[in-house]
A and B are shown apart, each in its own frame.
Chain A
Amino acid sequence: MRDVVEALAIVQLVLYVALAVVAAVRWVTHGGAVRGWVFATFAILAAILVTGQVLPEEPTGGAVWVVKVLVVGLALFPYCLYRFAEAFEPSRRWSQRLSLALTIAAGGTIFLFGDLPQGGEPRSFAFQLYALLILVQWGYLLGRVSVRLWRGGRGRATIARRRMRTLSLGSAALAIALAIGVFAPATSPDDPGVTQVITSVLALIAAPLFLLGVSPPRLLLATWRRADERAMRQAEAQLMGASNEEDVANALLPHIGQALAAHSAALLDAQGRVVASYGTPPSHYDDGNATDTQLSLPLSRGRIVVEADSYTPYFGREETEVLREFAALTDVALRRARIADREREIAHEMARANEAMREFVAIASHDLRTPISLVRGYASLMLASWEAMADEDKRNHVAAIERQGSNLSRLVDDLLTISRLDAKALEPDIRPVRLTAALNEIVRDLGRNEDTTCDIDDDVVAAVDPDHFGRMVRNLIENAFVYGEPPVEITASVTDSDVTLAFRDHGEGVPAEFLPRLFERFSRAETTKTREARGTGLGLSIVRGLAVANGGDVTYEPAVEGSGACFALRLPRKR
């Protein structure tokens, strides 16, 4: 039995020293208070075991003081492990104070004893009380650590959960070992007893459990990760199949949230706006600077921000690394989604353009056929009844043919202009045009001198193609008389860069319901006047096209009481 206990003690020693070394390396490499407490915990334990090996079996004199210091270490060890768990989730103040008080009591009280009972010697009542104090201290601290780590593993990804629960089991095993040791009858080193073996075995079991919890080997990590890999493959497949940003976020964020047991995860665009989120996101996000609990995974445009909990930086390290790889995959998926979005947009625009073209062709065909039909119809009538037809009827029919021919000519001209505007083949020949002189000439040509006033300074000059200017102005003036009421007033307002001509009539104005279609092709408002008028419906569309081609625009200003419609033609001033 003694040999067994000694062998177990050696193995324990090796394991706990290895544990202390691993903890030291982790602390030096990664730093942080959490790793510091881990190192303190197992360094103390290793020191106790190593010192225990070199001390005589029945210490006397100075060795007793060394034993007492080891007992202080035994009190500190669970306190350090408790502080490790506290670093993730602080307990209430009373618990913190109780823990400290118990540790101070357990560590300090040993110095009140003169000699310590040797192995096999009966223990005094005071010493038994002290042993109970140690048990209470260890039991309370290790118990809290065990429960807290076990609960903390709930709902986490496999690696984090197993690490935490492994540490929890290690703490529990040590606590049980201590309890057995305290309540077991005293034995001598030569005759250790079964309880001594059991406590040694439990302490031995705890060592690898702690080691696996602190620094699991890669092979074990790979085995643990298998359970999560299927979820990751599914998330990858969903990512690659995503057709828009929202799908990408919906495939990615829940997985990230679950993998890190995060409070929330969000996908932010390049401007920091939230595209999609999982969980309950905070009211704002830090500008790309990660904190302990807010992880930021950069993308080529934007980033993923995860609001994790306090356990994640220590226990979620592997998941965080995997998720950085996920960020690269997310970038690809987002680019694909954006391209797909753009393709859909282009397809939609093309479909709209095709539909508009179909409608345009249908209306143009109709509008061309009507005058052609009438020309042919009147001509047929005249041919069929020339001899019997009265001269007046012949004149009327020829006049009708002439009118329809004129309509047809205007329509063809308008259609050709529209076609050139669409093909951007209309090259304006920009020249300085003195507006007053040009406007007066057009008004004279249209025979509208008496009903049109032009109140513009003589020196106002626009930079515009003179033919285009004539066409735009003719159309606006003719519209004012055809669809509005005289008098028509033309005024100008001038800025450093532009001159805006306002064409105002005194009619009813454009009906409000027609305004959205005012500058569309083949659109004509339904008013009493438009029933009589028979324009092509292309005039304003052409005016806008020409104005824009010449670096300006034309807009409509709503009619006010007593003033009718007002069209504003903006043109660049002479450069």
Chain B
Amino acid sequence: MRLFVRLALSRDPRLEILGEATTAEEAIELAATLDPGLIVLDHGLDGVLTGLAAAPLLKAAAPRAKILLFTAYDMAAEARAEPAIDAFLRKDELGRLLSVVRQLLELDPMPA
């Protein structure tokens, strides 16, 4: 899935993938170091913390970053209830990933 996300986002040259993590702990460390503009966060992560639990910690590590919860679980209500999460997208709406990322980063759509 990470490979696909990388592929999908690479279609917009304005986006640069700064890093990837497999666990929430790794992600928090990277976020603090890299100071990203957006974090695409899965819920089912390796390690102890889930994506939802890790969101506030990621926000604290990288206050500037928008957090997109991207998961196959039906978690729209939980995502709305978590203030650290800026957007929620289910994995079966994979085709909308790029447009949601652009909206979060306030980027205009690329011309066709």
Contacts and interface: CB of A to CB of B under 8 A. Distances in A.
Is chain B found bound to chain A in the same assembly? Answer: yes
Interface of A: 362, 365-367, 369-370, 372-374, 376-378, 380-381, 384-385, 397, 400, 526, 531
Given A381-B7, A385-B11, A531 B46 contact: yes
Contact of B4 (A372, A374, A384, A526): A374
A359 to B, nearest CB: 11
Contacts of B73: 362, 365-366
A378 B90 CA distance: 16
A370 B1 contact: yes
Contacts of A381: 4, 7-8, 11
Given A362-B73, A369-B91, 7 more contacts: A365-B73, A365-B74, A366-B71, A369-B90, A370-B1, A377-B95, A400-B4
Nearest to A524: B46
A484 B11 CA distance: 39
Contacts of A369: 72, 90-92
Q: What are the nearest 7 A-B pairs in CB distance?
A: A369-B72, A377-B94, A373-B91, A366-B72, A373-B94, A370-B72, A373-B92
B36 interface: no
Given A370-B72, A381-B7, A385-B11, A526 B46 contact: yes
B25 to A, nearest CB: 12
A367 B1 CA distance: 12
Contacts, number: 49
Contacts of B3: 400
Nearest to B73: A366
Contacts of A362: 73-74
Interface string B40-79: 0000101100000000000000000000000111100000
B74 A372 contact: no
A376 B72 contact: no
A147 B47 CA distance: 81
Nearest to B95: A380
A531 B72 contact: no
B38 to A, nearest CB: 18
A377 B74 contact: no
B103 interface: no
A397 B3 CA distance: 10
Contacts of B91: 369-370, 373
A376 B46 contact: no
Interface in B1-44: 1, 3-4, 7-8, 11, 22, 44
B22 A531 contact: yes
B78 to A, nearest CB: 12
17 contacts: A362-B73, A369-B72, A369-B91, A369-B92, A370-B72, A373-B92, A374-B94, A376-B92, A376-B94, A377-B8, A377-B94, A377-B95, A381-B4, A397-B7, A400-B3, A526-B46, A531-B46
A561 B100 CA distance: 52
Nearest to B44: A366
